[in-house]
Amino acid sequence: MRYLKWKLSHGTWGTHPVATIAAMGGRANTGWAVDDDGYRIAYLWEDVDITQLDSAWDVTEVTEAQALTFCQQFYAEAEVQDGGTISGPPPEDIE
């Protein structure tokens, strides 16, 4: 698995490259953490040339440690799980 950091096409809203990556033969999933500028961590499951993606998304590859640090700024107990995804906060109780 590869870790990516990207932003939505218009900062905190807009499109993301998941469909484009799928059209290139890859599979990507967005993570739960997003910062005030619209950046988020995503997971790339196949080898895809990310340099071919639209620059509006500002896609960069990051290390597992960088992805974890990004997520921990929103949930301090985040950790890398089996399979490589990063855990998020537990769901809130609904009464």
Say what the pLDDT of residue 55 is. 87
Q: What is the pTM of this model?
A: 0.87
Q: What is the pLDDT of residues 34-79, one digit of tens each?
A: 898 889 999 999 889 999 998 888 999 999 999 999 999 999 999 9
Q: Please check whether residue 19 is in contact with residue 5, taking contact to mean a CB–CB distance below 8 angstroms.
A: no
Distance CA 42, CA 19 (A): 13
Predicted confidence band of residue 95 (pLDDT cuts 50, 70, 90): low
The percentage of the chain sitting over the pLDDT mark of 70, rounded to a whole number, equals: 96
The percentage of the chain sitting over the pLDDT mark of 90, rounded to a whole number, equals: 69
Phi/psi at 80 (5° precision): -75, 125
